Chain A
């Protein structure tokens, strides 16, 4: 399987990349890690005339902390996330999520920015970003804007990014000390997308839920925030019965499409089960 012909560009700076993007417009695609785009090009689902490789732009890489925010370059790979001591200390949920993405080789190439900007509801970072209240820096030809994850995912392969923009940075507020967390993902095998998955961040105070975020992967055209389930839990003691109730509310927003991973009913049930597991683990981890 070989992609259709295209021209390859490897800019070394962000302005150069933005210039190429402006010049070629709709005929261009941005290449990040390439482990979604190249397979699509091999299958000829994607047939760009111009491929703009972001792999040589140093400023798009790296993980650092600025005040209460973790700044992750969009071209940071999954393995770089997994091996980050800073994230291990400040945001272990991101590591737990990245460890469940695809397989080791893919994680050397696959990037967090690519995973988010692709808009594939099967990708794992989008739900993690919703749970973590992340936002994304998007650079256009003239200005930069920052879009919260809550406003970013519009439909299947459709995001708030304009065609002339490049995602440069993922901004994650450092979760509160003692916040519980979990990413529970059901997949058939290594390398598969989730049949369903749930990301949870949970803060307890005196045994009562002070704050909670729940987001679901691959059970709708976008990642889904289970806001009704969050509301149910808030200011209550999260016992097993309440968690099952919350999972039921999470299931009520699921609209998965049937595929080889299962029919809609099965995937919805599994989204409920993943919500129960993620909430239960997060409760146990919350200090």
Chain B
């Protein structure tokens, strides 16, 4: 059996360390060892995006990343979005714009949209659809998800300007 390894990284701003087999996938470490069950397991084949987390400033599918690849990394999951009981602008917009029905894809959607808006604070509808294409939703038909990302973009740039 392969030797277990200690891996240390930052998860939503807090230092954590875990001991894992090299073959352990990040999604399992997050959900089973660190009780962060926001990132979901949808397809396990890097298609659906439900397991999306932010890793060193990149949106990645945590079903296709090994935990041992995360030594020294900085990770953000949906659990890190609300601050002091206040929802993040994206969470608020997804709520107000009815951008979810069953909610299974939502943590991945919001986490992906977060990085998109960091890179492109004022995306067009076409850009949102193109850069959100790695996240599947089987309920909404995407219309309200696009709307929610647009309204969050407005809110975030207004608060950045203020």
Contact = CB atoms under 8 A, between A and B. Distances in A.
A6 B60 contact: no
A47 to B, nearest CB: 11
B40 interface: no
B33 interface: no
A80 to B, nearest CB: 10
| Interface size bracket, A side | 20 to 34
B23 A106 contact: no
Interface stretch (A35-43, A150-158, A203-211): A35-43
Given A39-B45, A55-B69, A103-B134, A8 B22 contact: yes
B134 A53 contact: no
A191 B134 contact: yes
30 contacts: A1-B44, A5-B21, A5-B23, A6-B22, A6-B23, A8-B22, A8-B68, A34-B65, A34-B66, A34-B69, A39-B46, A42-B44, A42-B45, A79-B58, A102-B134, A103-B49, A103-B133, A103-B134, A104-B116, A104-B130, A104-B131, A104-B133, A104-B134, A105-B112, A105-B134, A106-B64, A106-B134, A108-B58, A190-B134, A191-B134
Interface centre among A7, A10, A105 (most CB of B within 10 A): A105
A109 B28 CA distance: 19
B23 A3 contact: yes
A235 interface: no
Contacts of A143: none
B52 A7 contact: no
Interface string A43-70: 0000000010101000000000000000
